Amino acid sequence: MKIFEELPRNVQVLILAKLCREMAAVKARNIHHLAKTRNTDLMGVWRGICRKAGQPVCTIPVEATSAVING
């Protein structure tokens, strides 16, 4: 599995834009909230984001998983 932080910058931006779009669609506060709304785990959400971006599955960005869950 490729490491997100080692991907080319344009690929990182594409994947993060897809994540933002998915979060905005359900008004999710963070990736944890998005996973909860979809009744799945973080990796399940991330696999879907990578697929929708047309990229192979990579690791979840460190910054995305360090968000505090508030409810």
Backbone angles phi, psi at 20, to 5 degrees: -60, -40
Note the pTM of the prediction, 2 decimals. Answer: 0.86
What is the tens place of the pLDDT at every residue in 7-63?
999 999 999 999 999 999 999 999 999 999 999 999 999 999 999 999 999 999 988
What is the C-alpha radius of gyration for the chain, rounded to an integer number of angstroms?
Answer: 11
CB-neighbour burial class of residue 47 (10 A; exposed 0-12, middle 13-18, buried 19+)? middle
| Nearest Cα residue to 61 out of 36, 48, 42, 41 | 42
Q: Does the pLDDT of residue 71 top 60, yes or no?
A: no
Q: Where are the domains of the chain?
A: 4-61
